[in-house]
Amino acid sequence: MTEWWADVVAKFVAAFITKDRWRLYLNGLGLTMEIAFFAGIIGIILGIIIALCRLSRSRNGGKTFLSVIAGIYIDVIRGTPSVLQLLIMWFIIMKNTTNSVLVASLAFGINSGAYVAEIFRAGILAVDPGQTEAGRSVGLSKSQTMLYIVLPQAIKNALPPICNEFITLIKETAIVGYVGLSDLTRVANQITSRTYEAFMPLIGAAVIYFVVIKILTMLLGILERRLRKSDNR
């Protein structure tokens, strides 16, 4: 029993304490969060723009050129693996860029933008058409009505699923090891190959992801309750 315990302790020490290895996990987590953060921002901005393009209609009610383009973008992004999108960004589109964090943030941001666009589109469509009619009836233009009346309500509708998308994004970034970035997942993997022991580093990394995501999910729950309350104000 004591022998078994001593072995566990030794493995733990090798995985986390020796050579201050815990710092590597921390740095890895930092990189993971950094990429997720920038990708999230790019995704939200891109998502709103793409959603508005997707919903744009010409005078006679037909789809606009922009709407078709936005549709293709959403289709292509959702129809291909994100690892491939990352590799294409790294090895083809931005092969002359050395800033790999930038490349990864862009790749994930562009990927996330497609999903965020669909969330926003649903959020906009969920706003009662009567709101738009009332806005147009007092003489506001299409874009003024969108900006002052529909979008604020759509964003409120979309906020919880958007946060959810961001939480998903944190996990999705675990593939950046493919382009040589030492995020949390890759760090755990590297330590495994150094200590010849997989359990502690991999489970450790899993626990860190889990805790971060659990905390964010709980915060999201609080946000959702707040929003629901403000519906009845």
Partner 1 sequence: MITVKDLKKNFEDTEVLKGISYEVGKGEKIVVVGPSGSGKSTFLRCLTLLEMPTSGKIFLEDQEITDPKTDINKIRQQMGMVFQHFNLFNNLTIMDNITLAPVKLGLMKKEEAKENALQLLNRVNLPEKADSYPAQLSGGQKQRIAIVRSLAMNPKVMLFDEPTSALDPEMVGEVLAVMKELAESGMTMIVVTHEMAFAKEVANKVLFVDQGIIMEENTPEEFFDHPKSPRLQDFLSRVL
Decide whether 62 or 130 has the Cβ nearer to partner 1: 130
Beta-carbon contacts of 181 under 8 Å, excluding residues fewer than 6 positions away, are 31, 35, 100, 101, 104
**124, 155 in Cβ contact below 8 A?**
no
C-beta neighbour count of 193 within 10 angstroms:
10
State which of residues 2, 96, 98, 232 lies at the interface with partner 1 (CB under 8 A): 232
DSSP codes joined into one string, 91-155: IIITTT---HHHHHHHHHHHHHHHHHHHHHHHHHHTS-HHHHHHHHHTT--HHHHIIIIIHHHHH
Residues 197-226 touching partner 1, rule: CB under 8 A, are none
State the alpha helices, DSSP H only, in the chain. 2-12, 22-55, 65-78, 82-88, 100-125, 129-137, 142-145, 151-172, 184-195, 199-231
Decide whether 137 or 193 has the Cβ nearer to partner 1: 137
**Position 226, amino acid:** R
Decide whether 156 or 171 has the Cβ nearer to partner 1: 156
Q: Is 156 in the site for partner 1 (CB under 8 A)?
A: yes
We find the least distance from the C-beta atom of residue 229 to partner 1, in angstroms, to be 11
Q: Is 80 in the site for partner 1 (CB under 8 A)?
A: no
We find the least distance from the C-beta atom of residue 62 to partner 1, in angstroms, to be 14
State which of residues 153, 164, 182, 192 lies at the interface with partner 1 (CB under 8 A): 153
We find the least distance from the C-beta atom of residue 153 to partner 1, in angstroms, to be 5
Decide whether 3 or 231 has the Cβ nearer to partner 1: 231
Q: Is 180 in the site for partner 1 (CB under 8 A)?
A: no
Report d(CA 69, CA 161) in Å as an integer: 24
Residues 93-152 touching partner 1, rule: CB under 8 A, are 128, 130-131, 133-141, 144, 148-149, 152
Q: Is 233 in the site for partner 1 (CB under 8 A)?
A: yes
Site residues for partner 1 per CB under 8 A: 128, 130-131, 133-141, 144, 148-149, 152-153, 156, 231-233
